[in-house]
Amino acid sequence: MLPLHIALVPSDNANVDTGDLLRVAAALQVQLTRDFEPVWGISAVVSPFTSLDQVPPACLPLVILPAGSLGPGGHAFHTTEKGIPFGLVEYKDGWSLSASHELLEMVCDPQGKRRVMGDSIADSYLRDVDAAYQQYLPQGQVAYLLEICDPCQDVYYIVNGLQVSDFVYPRYYAPGDTQCGCYSFTGKIKRPRELLNGGYVTWYTSIGASPVWQAKRDRLGALTIGPMTIPASGSSRPAVDFTNEVFDSLGPSAPPSSGPAAAAAPPSPPAPPAPAPAAALAARAAERYGAELRADLDRVLQDVYGGPPQDDLDQVISLLHDLVTNNTYYQDFSTNPTFRSGELTNRLGHDVDYPHGVPTQPQLEAVYAKAQHLVGQTTGRKVSGKFAATMIQGQT
């Protein structure tokens, strides 16, 4: 099987130290070859590049962005452009861990859509499912989204002196398999579908009203289980096709002119040697593909932010606080669409859609807990309406 090729490359404004880039790329390659490939049977090559203009079209880009580029609390994520993986990671302390997480998930599930069968975790933790969703239990076998670092995302190990992400084994999803005792590379996960603190898992059900479910364990060990909304899809990558340029540049050149007219022509100074056709093609292709990558990056970031920053993050956090601490307010918000719309418009300046219903208080509390480190640091800070809506919808 041919290996996947991954380009680890900084964006134009990331100012990534070249030594850092090379060290992280080397550690990621060791992890892929030594630890990941024997377990998952997928080979991949990580190549470092210092500019988007250097990335060959065959490579799947994992782009390094300046710290803070992905919004409050953001560190990395991956999406697809017409089925082609496109990873983003912020350049800050410990970025090798985020890069490893996104790289392994991109390689294991390039299109971000692969699902594997397994018994529903909700059936094993019935008391952790909110009473409003007990009617959807038991679920039996469900389809887990193959995100192999999420269940253990706060766990790392060291390769070449750098942190890289723990990841689950295929048997993690196996129905009824409880005999092995080791379900992740570090061995921290001891049984199928176990979630370590800070981890989560997402699955699809046959329930029409709530097709996508998620289980999250916060960093203190509290478990939340219930339906979630489906994130919006990303943008599409324009096709890049160099076939005609290849044949044009490598085809036979025209024969030299001959005959009397040529003989009578005055001598010309020698022309500088033309670059080799293949080298010229490579230069044009790299420039063109680099421009495409820049356009892709702009579109992906636009998808993340959904427009220019416009919402006051303090107001978003305040609204979350009221929803998780004031039961009466939550009941009015969750059951009265008119009240909810008025509150959202008054406090955020716009309404927010809830395509699968308002999340439970525990789901909102998980988001609020994750945002606690921002309290007191957010005065005057603005985020996009899309980012604010994601938090108010119970997603992080």
Q: Mind giving me the DSSP string for 158-221?
A: EETTEEEE--B-GGGG-TT--SSS--BTTS---STT---TT-EEEEE-S-SS--EEEEEE-TTS
pTM reported for the whole predicted model: 0.68
What are the pLDDT digits (tens) for 47-77? 999 999 999 888 889 999 988 777 665 555 5
Domains in the chain: boundaries: 4-108, 115-154+163-227, 311-392
Contacts of 304 (CB under 8 A, 6+ apart): 70, 71, 74, 77, 384, 386, 387
User: What pLDDT was estimated at residue 35?
Assistant: 97
**pLDDT over 50 (residue 250):** no
What are the pLDDT digits (tens) for 181-193? 789 999 999 988 9
- Say if CB 73 and CB 371 are below 8 A apart: yes
- Which tops the pLDDT comparison, 269 or 299? 299
- Identify whether 138 is preceded by a cis peptide bond (ω within 30 of 0): yes
Q: Token pair of 22, please?
A: 């090379």
What element of type H or E holds 346?
Answer: helix 337-348
User: What pLDDT was estimated at residue 36?
Assistant: 97
Name the superfamily (CATH) of residues 4-108.
Collagenase (Catalytic Domain) (3.40.390.10)
